[in-house]
Structure 1
Amino acid sequence: MKNIYKTLVVVFSLLIVQSCDDELNQLPNNALSPSTYYNTAEDFDNAMRGVYSGFLGGSYYGGSLLSRPDIMTSNVILAQAGRRSNQAFHEWRHSPNLAWGMMFSPYVITNRANLIIENIDNLDDGPTKNNFLGEARTARALALFDMLKVYSKIPTQSADAGSSLGMPIITGTDPNVRELRPTVAESYAFVISELEASRSLINADNGVGRFNKDAVNALLSRAYLYNGQYQEAINAANAVNSAVADAASFPQVWLDGSEAGVIMKINQDRILDGVGIGIEWSQSVGGTVIPEYVMEFDMYNLYAGNDVRKTSYVQILPDADGNIYNAITKMYGEAGQVNGVVDPKIIRAAEVYLNKAEAHAMLGGQDAQALAALDMVRSNRYSGFVSGNETGAALLDAIKNERRLELFAEGHRLFDVKRWNEGISRSATNGEFFDGTGTPVPGSFLNLPAGSHLFELPIPQAEINVYPEFQQNPGY
């Protein structure tokens, strides 16, 4: 963390974010001192835009956070014809010297948010001031929450998770900060308290490109679910007013032609930003695909023929050699584009209903409520939908399955498996081609048992080197 903070100056800077985190290390030419800035609503609005830009870092929502949680599970398989990007993570060979360097972007966001919070009293009391404060506190809460998912245990994962290592809680702007890791329980308590405070401050409607009251309640439904506070997760979900996208609108969501069901996303400028989040999966040249990872054959077959997601998420496409793949096109680009440049979706109404369904199921004795929430999603995905009327263990399995299908390639699968304390099992025979032929996953990388230390990604060694007291995760 010291390595991160030594690159931060206590200034506001609105960076033009590129798809590689290294770009973020360059100090801007338009840096402004807080003593001469943060005086008007316009200043704070520009500062908040700088906060949102931080989410587009290449190791964060600009790429890895949306792809690696699927790459590390059985949802996708490495395409032999690709560049073999992320192969070490796909094969669970990550280590402190081969680590997911996600800490930089979330702590940049935290620093920018803290600058807003420190200077917020320069604004007159009222809704404008409260809204900026709510946005900033939500941003730093989400940044910490995301780091916890990657680097720490999840509270429902094991009996000792709450007392295990969380991630530093930074509420100031000192560039020389040296904070040890608190517990997971303390870290989650901070995330939830920040979100709880924010929802009483933030505007009901800031548009889907900024945090608003629905976004805060939606994130609370996620945080409470992860923390095993199921009734609170239900209460937060019930406070969300956004509706699940219907089947007619759903395909356009992934082309940025519709905002149906999207509670919050990061709007990027196609010219200035141009962050190709879809190139984590494939590129396209001359009408053929150059695949990095493709949907695994068994996963592809989980989507029923009457499921609108099957054609919204995947296309059967050839490469230049005539090999045919279940190519992931969910993030392929806007209509007519194959550059992977689309807005990353932070949270959608469908997830909120699935959070609610799971929470009801976990409480027990609430199958009817859980089924109703589940069917709100399923009825908008399957043509001619008829409820399965599942109960008990079958209902919970249906909720988990629907979550896997709905949230594919949105940065959830690894963390869902982890918080359910389940393992990962891959096919020993399926290859990367559309019909399951091709090169299977090597035998050494077929199974990751529940509870493996590899579910908690290592702190990058570069951070430990400059701050030796910073605790590494067990097993590394």
Structure 2
Amino acid sequence: MKKSINFLIALFVFVAIVSCEKELDLEPRQSIGIDAATSTPENINAILLAAYDIGRNTSPDNLAPIYNGNYSGEINVVSELLGNTDQVSWNGTFDNLRDVFNKALVNNNTSAVNIYADSYSITGHVNTVLDNLDKFDDTQERNRVEGEAKFLRGLVYFDMVKLYGLPYNPGGSNSQLGVPLTLTPPSVDIRIGRNTVEEVYAQVISDLTDSFNKLPDTNGERADKYAAQAILARVYLQQGNYAAARDAAHNVLLNSGHLLTSTYAAAFNTDDNSVETVFSWIVTNQEGTNLSNIHYATEALGGRGGDIAITQAYLDKFDSVDDDRRNFTYPGEGVSTGLLLSSKHARQFANATPVRIAEMHLIRAECNFRLGTSVGSTPLTEINALRARSSAPALTSLTLDLILNERELELAFEGFTLHDYKRTQRNIGGLSYDDNRLVFPIPQSARDRNPLLEQNPGYN
């Protein structure tokens, strides 16, 4: 069962942390010295817990900033809107998301500001944890805490560099600007410029590798070693390091214990993580918000009525009308009448942003195909296993285009579209994959506080 987070300790510590991007205006009775806040293993664990909570859009009792919820669906939503032109439609009223879909962002776009600020709030908490590992006498507990902290930091910087920096160029120097790497506890005095994309990727790989080595095989609802390795597989794939991506995905498939659910629908909208879920962000009716549900679902199911709907261009990508993935939809009603909506985000309090084992199959299949190898399975067998689960007819042969199409069919509306098109250097509508309009601006508010932050082209 989902476990409700106890904030009594988390709140005690959390209100003391000075975020890199947000300042807390608290009464003295709520204040606590940083030395006391980091004095015990229990307090350090509470700071780590608060980092998870920021990612899933949680604020206890209005004593902390209201976080946007990067991993409650915000990053997924903007990645789909920025990466799509004709496979989804935007029907909502939020100017910030409309501008993302229209590839017409400005330097104070609310999504760009919130994702940036919340990311550094998470890393600020994580860096405080990592700076106080000496509080742990128990080696096993210390390793777990360090592993979880580095998992979160690696994940956050990976998602940030994909949104705020130009794409990684396999074989290039990757000296294009990424995001600032802050690896120390929060301080209002920190003023650093942006690191290169290469430097950010190196830090991400270092953090996730350490996380894999430190974390246990299973870790309840928190990140375990295979969650870290699954994100590593994503990172290597984004870099075009196909051998490393294949091997990481293969190890997750071989040893994590996660399997494909018997049906496609069973992988989504469950009270608990399914056997297919390697990691997700816990949402309950008391804590957290599933932002994907808000923007994809009807009002009756907890959403806004279909801000994001499916178009015929997406349906046309299927080669069979019997494919369960094609039919995993429902018609809108009320304000969304006439729209076709995805069933992936149809439950208001479903866990958010799952890392699914199906993605590992797709990574291994693509990398095996590119390398001419058959580690774990032949690419054709692997792709057909996914298709069989969805009642799609088996393919008799494969091309790279077919494999990439299978990724779109399997992982649609889960936040992959923008980054898959960039790494495979495909145009997004009439824009080249490396067009500046497909990169988020560095928020002007951050630049006002830190003049060392150089803006992305087109946003000054």
- Same fold per TM (> 0.5)? yes
Cα deviation code 1:209-254 (max 9, x no counterpart): 3110110110110111112211111111122124342243733622
Q: Is the aligned partner of 1:362 residue 2:370?
A: yes
Q: Distance in 2 between matches of 1:377 and 1:370?
A: 11
Find the residue that maps to 1:315 and give its secondary structure.
Answer: strand
Q: Distance in 2 between matches of 1:286 and 1:44?
A: 38
Identity across aligned pairs (percent)? Answer: 25
Indicate the residue corresponding to 1:48 in structure 2.
48
Indicate the residue corresponding to 1:227 in structure 2.
239
Indicate the residue corresponding to 1:255 in structure 2.
270
Unpaired segments ≥5 residues, structure 2: 1-11, 57-66
Q: Distance in 2 between matches of 1:227 and 1:152?
A: 14
Equivalence map 1:87-102=2 (5 Å): 87-98=98-109, 100-101=112-113, 102=115
Query: Is the Cα contact below 8 Å between 1:244 and 1:377 reproduced in 2?
Result: no
Indicate the residue corresponding to 1:6 in structure 2.
none
Indicate the residue corresponding to 1:193 in structure 2.
206
Q: Distance in 1 between matches of 2:369 and 2:196?
A: 28
Q: What is the root-mean-square deviation of aligned Cα atoms in Å?
A: 2.9
The one-letter code sitting in structure 2 at the alignment partner of 1:398 is L
Change (3 A) 1:84 1:210: same
Query: Is the Cα contact below 8 Å between 2:297 and 2:345 reproduced in 1?
Result: no
Instruction: Give the TM-score, by structure 2 length.
Output: 0.83
Q: Distance in 2 between matches of 1:272 and 1:344?
A: 12
The one-letter code sitting in structure 1 at the alignment partner of 2:93 is R
Per residue, is there more helix in 1 or in 2?
Answer: 2
Q: Distance in 2 between matches of 1:255 and 1:301?
A: 28
Shift of 1:121: 0.9
Q: Distance in 2 between matches of 1:194 and 1:287?
A: 36
Indicate the residue corresponding to 2:310 in structure 1.
295
Indicate the residue corresponding to 2:409 in structure 1.
405
Q: Among residues 459, 468, 473, which one is paired with 2:442 in the alignment?
A: 459
Q: Among residues 109, 130, 135, which one is paired with 2:122 in the alignment?
A: 109
Q: Distance in 1 between matches of 2:351 and 2:129?
A: 25
Cα deviation code 1:11-49 (max 9, x no counterpart): 94179xxxxxxx976556755434223444433332221
Q: Among residues 283, 292, 297, which one is paired with 1:268 in the alignment?
A: 283
Q: Is the aligned partner of 1:178 residue 2:191?
A: yes
Query: Is the Cα contact below 8 Å between 1:316 and 1:327 reproduced in 2?
Result: yes
Shift of 1:138: 0.9
Q: Distance in 2 between matches of 1:320 and 1:225?
A: 40
Runs of 4+ in 1 over 4 A off after TM superposition: 23-32, 158-161, 285-289, 364-368
Q: Among residues 377, 388, 396, which one is paired with 2:386 in the alignment?
A: 377
Equivalence map 1:35-434=2 (5 Å): 35-56=35-56, 57-58=67-68, 60-72=70-82, 73-74=84-85, 75-79=87-91, 82-85=92-95, 86-98=97-109, 100-101=112-113, 102-156=115-169, 162-173=174-185, 174-207=187-220, 209-240=221-252, 241-248=256-263, 250-251=265-266, 253-256=268-271, 258-285=273-300, 290-303=305-318, 304-312=320-328, 314-320=329-335, 323-333=337-347, 340-364=348-372, 369-380=378-389, 382-383=390-391, 385-391=392-398, 394=399, 396-425=400-429
The one-letter code sitting in structure 2 at the alignment partner of 1:62 is S
Number of aligned residue pairs: 422
The one-letter code sitting in structure 2 at the alignment partner of 1:328 is S
The one-letter code sitting in structure 2 at the alignment partner of 1:399 is I
Indicate the residue corresponding to 2:8 in structure 1.
none
